[in-house]
Amino acid sequence: MNLQNVEQARFNMIEQQIRPWNVDDSTVLGLLERVKREDFVPLAHKALAFADLEIPLPAGQAMLAPRLQARMVQDLALKPTDKVLEIGTGSGFTTALLASLAQRVISLEINPELATLARANLQKANITNAEVRVADGVKGAGAEAPFDAILLGGSVTEAPQQLLSQLKVGGRLIAIVGNEPVMHAMLITRTSQTDFKSAELWDTVAPRLQNFPEPSAFKF
pLDDT 10s digits, 92-137: 999 999 999 999 999 999 999 999 999 999 999 999 999 999 999 9
Domains (range + CATH), the chain: 3-204 (3.40.50.150)
| Chain centroid to CA 214 | 20
Q: What is the pTM of this model?
A: 0.94
Average pLDDT on 135-146 reads: 94
What is the rounded end-to-end Cα distance, in angstroms, of the chain? Answer: 56
DSSP β-ladder status, 167-179 and 147-156 = parallel
pLDDT of residue 92: 98
pLDDT of residue 80: 97
Residue 148, pLDDT above cutoff 50: yes
